[in-house]
Amino acid sequence: MSYIPNTDEDRCRMLKRIGVEGIDDLFRPIPQNLRLKKPLNLPQALPEIDLMREIEGLAGKNRSDLTIFAGGGIYDHFIPAAIDTIISRPEFVTAYTPYQAEVSQGTLQVIYEFQSHICRLTGMDVANASMYDGATAAAEAVSLALAKTHRAKVIISETVSPFFREVIKTYLSGRRVEIVLIPHSKGITDLERLRHTIDQNTACVVMAQPNFFGLIEDVETASDIAHKDTGLFIEAIDPVAVALLKTPADCGADIAIGEGQPLGIPLSFGGPLLGFFAVKKDLVRQMPGRLVARTVDEVGNPGFVLTLQTREQHIRREKATSNICTNQALCATSAAVYLSLMGRKGFRQVALLSMEKAHRTAEKLFERSNLKPYFEGSFIREFVVRTPVPAATVIDRLIEHKSILPGIDLGRFYKGMENALLVALTEKRTDEEIEALNKSLREF
Amino acid sequence: MNIPAGLKYTKEHEWIKVEGTTALVGITDYAQGELGDIVFVELPKVGTAVKTMQPFGTIEAVKAVSDLNAPVSGKVIEINSALESDPTIINRDTYGEGWMIKIEMSDPAELETLLSSERYEKLLK
């Protein structure tokens, strides 16, 4: 089957009409020495039946049988079947925010509800229609701070997700911005160091709550320090853990961002994920992304529209703070449906169960064993285990022999932490699964 | 079209009113009319240095956004913070209550390069 919608004859006619001999003539402005003169290195075309076999073979390599204790921003929460049913409605199946309010009231309303949920979760005044993922949301938050303050220094705690930090670095490359990393002391951001690093050229301080090690940070003090020289405070949160903590708004954050995958979106390598982004009202003009608002029409009926579009690049051009003019509409819809289904009580219950199971697991693991807690701080649903052999070895062996993914090897991200295993719990993990992890880890 | 004599103008539709070594800056009646309902003005902080014909802020209408250009170089010594809560003042009284910034001029000779009311009126024709 050909995926090219026009025929040889069509193309011939089109070329003749614009007065060129062949397709190659269209590329004439590109100098010869820049052109690729050999065919692309691609395999031969396959018949559909063989293609299916090949793709199914690749899909078969997925280990969907694993019991997952890995987190680090992406968590294995239960996803009610209703979500898939609702988001599979053709009206919702899109990755985009609609421009034309007249024919898109349903989608706009869902996004508005998503924004409202995020405002409730974070305590902030305004949330946008979502971003690609938590990491790009973090980078956009930093860009906002740079644009708002006209300063050139960004301070990030080392306990912020290494993925977030990597994407921030990528976004800022070539922008003459200095990124300063604040080290951690026993798993917690060194606030004394932060106090001494901050200056009048600091655009923002980025912290995570809980941090990448699962530990609770003193974000209120950090936010006070950040504000001392009128910089902005950016708080990256785990949306589930935050159900049990003070909101970013209560802690003084100017921008709250995070990864929305735990809100009803499945685990999959490479995404899609869901970034959420919320600000205090005075930053709304610099906020990236789309924004849905509720309004009334001429005769007073309520309706939904895209609003404050002058922030965006199709109007503000090169002066826009961001080039993001889209959102993750389908994933945002999942999150909106998830939070509506769970409700205030149900959602809190998910967080409480995850925390209770994490603490029970830690207790079990550390009871008369050669496993030790890596850090002493308080945690919600994720903690670091000091393993007697490198964590990478533990992970490989448990996947291979026990069908358990026991956690994340922190040696991948932090020098000298090769024996640190980051273990996360969700409400989904059963007593049997926890016991299986406990037994398997004790074999080292 | 209101183009008061006694003020100086830029080709980008800003006006400037000189008072000794300082000057008030705003946008012209023509500019506010073209923009329509103004919804937001972003002004610099007091103390910011501005340069002749370089942007000092932005102004937003419902579906358009424009740079605000400094007619002369100098330092911003006052901003009209009333515009923050009600930017439509500019639509109602652009040459009066709708002023935006007050500049301490560093090179008053730059005023010579600006347009008189007559020349600005010609520009609009």
What is the domain-level CATH number for residue B22?
2.40.50.100
Nearest chain A CA: its distance from B47 CA (Å): 14
Q: Which of B72, B57, B97 is nearest to B9 (CA)?
A: B72
Name the segment(s) of chain A with CATH classification 3.40.640.10: 81-337
Are A315 and B65 inside 8 Å of each other by CB? yes
Nearest chain A CA: its distance from B64 CA (Å): 6
User: Under a CB-based contact definition with an 8 Å cutoff, are residues A126 and A119 in contact?
Assistant: yes
User: Under a CB-based contact definition with an 8 Å cutoff, are residues A235 and A253 in contact?
Assistant: yes
Q: Which domain holds residue B94?
A: 8-106
Tokens of A264: 């009803």
Q: What is the pLDDT of residue A256?
A: 98
Q: What is the pLDDT of residue A1?
A: 57
Within a domain: B2? no
Are A316 and B42 inside 8 Å of each other by CB? no
* For chain B, percent of residues with pLDDT exceeding 70: 100
Within a domain: B93? yes
Q: What is the pLDDT of residue A93?
A: 86
Which residues lie across from A232 on neighbouring strands?
A204
**Distance (Å, whole) CA B125 – CA B103:** 30
Mean pLDDT of B107-113: 93
Size of interface A-B (CB pairs under 8 A): 19
Nearest chain A CA: its distance from B20 CA (Å): 31
Q: What is the pLDDT of residue B34?
A: 93
Are A315 and B67 inside 8 Å of each other by CB? no
Radius of gyration of chain A (CA): 25
**What is the chain B residue with the closest CA to A286?**
B42
User: Under a CB-based contact definition with an 8 Å cutoff, are residues A159 and A188 in contact?
Assistant: yes
Question: In Å, how far from its chain's centre is CA A429?
Answer: 23
What residues of A are in contact with residue B68 (Cβ under 8 Å)? none
Strands (E), A341-441: 372-373, 382-386, 404-405, 408-409, 420-424
DSSP H or E run through A185: strand A184-185
Nearest chain B CA: its distance from A226 CA (Å): 20
Tokens of B95: 């040459």
List, in order, residues 6 or more apart from A55 with CB less than 8 Å away. none
Are B42 and A285 inside 8 Å of each other by CB? yes
Within a domain: B119? no
Q: 3.10.310.30, 3.30.70.270, 3.40.50.720, 3.40.640.10: which CATH number matches A81-337?
A: 3.40.640.10
**What is the chain A residue with the closest CA to B66?**
A316
- Residue whose token pair is 């406990």: A438
Radius of gyration of chain B (CA): 13
Tokens of B44: 């610099």
Q: What is the pLDDT of residue A101?
A: 84
Nearest chain A CA: its distance from B40 CA (Å): 9
Within a domain: B33? yes
Are A315 and B64 inside 8 Å of each other by CB? yes
User: Under a CB-based contact definition with an 8 Å cutoff, are residues A371 and A423 in contact?
Assistant: no
- Residue whose token pair is 């040889």: A8
Are B63 and A315 inside 8 Å of each other by CB? yes
Amino acid letter, B53: M
Strands (E), chain B: 8-9, 14-19, 22-27, 38-42, 49-50, 55-61, 65-69, 74-79, 101-105
Q: What is the pLDDT of residue B77?
A: 97
What superfamily does domain A67-76+347-441 belong to in CATH?
Aspartate Aminotransferase, domain 1 (3.90.1150.10)
Q: How many domains does chain B have?
A: 1
pLDDT band for position B1 (cuts 50, 70, 90): confident
The ipTM of this complex is 0.71
Are B65 and A316 inside 8 Å of each other by CB? yes
Strands (E), A281-407: 292-296, 302-306, 372-373, 382-386, 404-405
Within a domain: B60? yes
Q: Specify the length of chain B in residues.
A: 125
CA dihedral A138, A412, A373, A262 (to 10 degrees): 40
List, in order, residues 6 or more apart from A174 with CB less than 8 Å away. none
**Distance (Å, whole) CA A408 – CA A71:** 7
Strands A232-237 and A255-259: parallel
Q: What is the pLDDT of residue A322?
A: 80
Which residues lie across from A331 on neighbouring strands?
none
What residues of B are in contact with residue A285 (Cβ under 8 Å)? 40, 42, 60
Helix (H, G, I), strand (E, B) or coil at A55: helix
Tokens of A396: 């490989």
What residues of A are in contact with residue B42 (Cβ under 8 Å)? 285
User: Under a CB-based contact definition with an 8 Å cutoff, are residues A350 and A342 in contact?
Assistant: yes
Q: What is the pLDDT of residue A255?
A: 98
**Distance (Å, whole) CA A127 – CA A291:** 8
Tokens of A66: 């694993």
User: Under a CB-based contact definition with an 8 Å cutoff, are residues B36 and B10 in contact?
Assistant: no
Nearest CB to B40; choose among A285, A315, A319 = A285
Nearest chain A CA: its distance from B39 CA (Å): 10
| Residues of chain A scoring pLDDT < 70 | 1, 95
A interface mutation test: which of B42, B48, B60 has the most A CBs within 10 A?
B60
Q: Residue A267 to residues A70, A273, A432, A436: CA-CA distances in angstroms?
A: 11, 9, 22, 22
Are B40 and A310 inside 8 Å of each other by CB? yes
Q: Kindly report the number of other CB atoms within 10 A of residue A244's CB atom.
A: 15
DSSP string covering A113-145, please? Answer: HHHHHHHHHH--SEE-S-BS-HHHHHHHHHHHH
What residues of A are in contact with residue B65 (Cβ under 8 Å)? 310, 315-316, 319
Helix (H, G, I), strand (E, B) or coil at B81: coil
B interface mutation test: which of A286, A287, A295, A310 has the most B CBs within 10 A?
A310
Within a domain: B52? yes
Chain A residues whose C-beta is within 8 A of a chain B C-beta are 285, 309-310, 315-316, 319
**What is the chain A residue with the closest CA to B45?**
A149
Within a domain: B120? no
Name the segment(s) of chain A with CATH classification 3.90.1150.10: 67-76+347-441
**What is the chain A residue with the closest CA to B43?**
A148
Q: What is the pLDDT of residue B115?
A: 95
How far separated are the first and last CA of chain A, in Å rounded? 54
Within a domain: B44? yes
- Residue whose token pair is 């508005």: A112
Nearest chain A CA: its distance from B122 CA (Å): 29
Tokens of A349: 């219950």
